[in-house]
Amino acid sequence: MDTAHDTPSRPRRRRGRRPVIASAVVAALALGGGGIWAADRYLIEHVAISDVSSYEAAQSTTDDAVTTTTNGETTDTSYTSDQAGITLSTVTTGSGTDTVTYYVADVTLTDATALRSAFAGDAYGTNITETTSSIAADHDAIFAINGDYYGFRDTGIVIRNGVVYRDDGARDGLAFYQDGHVEVYDETATTADELIADGVWNTLSFGPAIVEDGSVLAGIEDVEVDTNFGNHSIQGEQPRTAVGVIDDNHLVFVVVDGRDEGYSRGVTMTELADIMVSLGATTAYNLDGGGSSTLYFDGEVVNQPSNGGERGTSDILYIAGSGS
């Protein structure tokens, strides 16, 4: 059933470091040299580009890709402007220990480039983190979700706002095109430059794809997104974030809360796919989840992140508010 969400208190704009696989790293530190490597790889910030806004302005080859949003109107659960329409809803199913609560943002765009990406600290690199709400506030976002946490890994194709940051195909990615269509693609079968030439505006590299041609994909419970130290699988009932494609310029974003008995247990990958199909998605793709799963709207965190508060992440997808 649909229920109106309660309005939580305004989040504090405070930089939040995410202790990625911290317990494993601490254990490794006790072992000497291997621990030093682990801390460097997973905990210490490495900044490759310190001013992403300036870098994108200089590097972008897209003419007039983004225009100023005007005439925006906001309610508690909706936003309408000349570039985007957003409608939020809260869904609760089950009862007792089987209760699941998730948040849906139905988004229509008149300009596909209105859906943008932003990095923590306006910097590109590894292990650079901020909360979703802090990144969103810094970019005057009316709506945002956590992204793919690109900064945890050093593989995958990373194109953001029409600019190439990484070209190391490793898995199935998701590509958002400037003409409004979105598709899952094999990163290992193309290059970032080819994607840019074809009109790609943003890519995400996490997964797996969970819905194709309106049907739940088989085998998604067994996919390993990362096979590196500390993050081997994404199985089980978890908090989750996903994006679904209903049609060109019509997307649906879902954040499922979890690890909170009686409020929301989280969902399996198949249950997440079922949710996306029920919302009309013909294609759907899983993003970073767990404590990262966050939905932000009009200055507030709408859901209840499983850590008891927001966990830092490396990137968001967002839509800017009026005048931005």
Give 5-38 pLDDT, tens digit per residue: 443 333 333 344 444 445 444 444 454 566 787 7
- The model carries a pTM of 0.88
| Residue 307: per-residue pLDDT | 81
| Residue 14: per-residue pLDDT | 38
- 85-136: per-residue pLDDT in tens? 999 999 999 999 999 999 999 999 999 999 999 999 999 999 999 999 999 9
> Per mean pLDDT, which range of 67-71, 288-292, 304-308, 311-315 is the poorest?
67-71
Buried residues in 241-275 as b, exposed as e (16+ CB within 10 A): bbbbbbeebbbbbbbbbbbbeeebbbbbbebbbeb
Structural tokens at position 187: 């990163």
- 41-98: per-residue pLDDT in tens? 778 899 999 999 999 999 876 654 455 556 789 999 999 999 999 999 999 999 999 9
Average pLDDT, stretch 317-322?
94
